[in-house]
């Protein structure tokens, strides 16, 4: 009950920083008894009430105060302000009143010191845990990179230069952030549900799984990572880098949405480049961010429905200064379709353009 309530409160916070603070506050208070703070407040109330009764009895009724009830109320307010360090020193005039006032001041100093120490301790713990990757990202619609290798390093750099720049969270078993300032770091196991939740996997836009090395064992661990993600957040799109082409079927059984075999892509690109000079440079340019034209997959306006491929290509060129490469329909891609091809509701397009402009990036719902 308490954990569910805390998670709901965290979802209310829009700022990732506030959500991280909520996570650490929940973690630090998880071992504290539920009635501790209630008893502390009741104890404080009792001490101030007893002191107010004593001071009211000692000082007696004053003309400016009025009735006993009013006198007690004024004295109680004085007691509260004295505990907080802002009481009126001239309120009491007797020796006993001074003694009670001094005791309340000492009590107030102790309370303020306790609260200050707790706050300082919380800030220090927050900074240390965040630096060690023991926090929670607090992001929404971000990309979670599971694992770390040279591919992960390059793809985070690529994401940071793209026009549509998402937040990135790296989940990796390490003592420090391998991505530096380019990504939020969660130190943990990619197959562990708690660590994936700290990375915000349930509210992520996509998850990229990178093998630790080029071995078959690394592929097996990537499969376990995909299974863990699909169990916790089946709506999140999973993109996997596979070492061995023979493991592609296993990744599909684990319900990975996209599998990229880097060795296969590299070998085919090398083959085309050997036959047609310059192909590698062109492909590298259109899939890279930064300067020049880049590759985008975009949604199509409703008024495009029914257009032929030639009409769509012309509209893309005239309306968006974009070159059409392919049309996506359900799980299929149509590259260079025939002249009788017509757009249907739900179709999207893969284009090359200098920027998105007024085009909207395609949002895929895997739920």
**CATH code that applies to domain 143-265:** 3.40.50.720
> Domain limits of the chain?
32-131, 143-265, 293-367
DSSP result, 293-351: -EEEEEE--GGGTT-BHHHHHHHHHHHH--EEEEEEETTEEEES--TT-B--TT-EEEE
Q: Which two tokens stand for residue 198?
A: 């700290």
CATH topology identical between 32-131 and 143-265: no
User: Is 32-131 in CATH node 1.10.287.70?
Assistant: yes
Q: Percent of the chain beyond pLDDT 90?
A: 29
pLDDT of the residue at 74: 82
User: Is 293-367 in CATH node 3.40.50.2000?
Assistant: no
Residue 85 has pLDDT above 80, yes or no: no
What kind and span of H or E run contains 259?
strand 258-261
Q: Is the pTM of this model over 0.85?
A: no
* 277-335: pLDDT as tens digits: 888 888 887 777 656 678 888 888 888 899 999 999 998 888 888 888 899 888 788 98
């Amino acid at each position: 009950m308490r954990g569910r309530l805390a998670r709901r409160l965290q979802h209310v916070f829009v700022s990732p920083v506030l959500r991280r603070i909520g996570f650490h506050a929940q973690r630090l208070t998880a071992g504290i008894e539920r009635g501790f703070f209630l008893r502390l407040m009741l104890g404080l109330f009792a001490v101030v009430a007893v002191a107010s009764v004593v001071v009211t009895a000692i000082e007696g009724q004053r003309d400016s105060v009025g009735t006993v009830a009013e006198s007690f109320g004024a004295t109680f307010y004085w007691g509260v302000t004295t505990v907080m360090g802002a009481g009126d020193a001239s309120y009491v005039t007797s020796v006993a009143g001074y003694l009670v006032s001094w005791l309340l001041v000492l009590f107030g100093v102790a309370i303020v010191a306790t609260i200050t120490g707790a706050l300082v301790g919380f800030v220090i713990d927050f900074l240390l845990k965040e630096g060690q990757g023991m926090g929670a990202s607090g992001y929404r619609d971000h990309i979670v990179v599971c694992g770390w290798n040279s591919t992960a390093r390059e793809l985070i750099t690529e994401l940071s230069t793209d026009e549509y720049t998402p937040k990135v969270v790296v989940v990796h078993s390490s003592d420090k952030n391998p991505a530096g300032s380019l990504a939020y770091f969660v130190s943990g196991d990619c197959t562990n549900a708690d660590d994936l939740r700290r990375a915000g996997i349930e509210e992520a836009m996509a998850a990229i799984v990178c093998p630790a090395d080029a071995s078959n064992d690394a592929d097996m661990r990537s499969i376990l990572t995909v299974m863990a993600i699909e169990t916790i957040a089946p709506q999140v799109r999973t993109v996997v880098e596979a070492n061995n082409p023979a493991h592609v079927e296993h990744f599909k059984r684990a319900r990975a949405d996209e599998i990229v075999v880097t060795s296969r892509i590299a070998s085919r690109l090398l083959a085309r480049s050997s036959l047609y000079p310059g192909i590698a440079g062109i492909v590298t340019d259109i899939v890279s961010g930064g300067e020049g034209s880049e590759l985008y997959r975009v949604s199509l306006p409703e008024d495009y429905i029914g257009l032929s491929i030639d009409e769509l290509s012309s509209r893309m060129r005239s309306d968006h200064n974009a070159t059409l490469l392919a049309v996506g329909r359900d799980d299929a891609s149509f590259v260079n379709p025939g002249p009788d091809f017509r757009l249907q509701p739900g179709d999207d397009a893969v284009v090359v353009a200098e920027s998105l402009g007024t085009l909207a990036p395609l949002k895929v719902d895997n739920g």
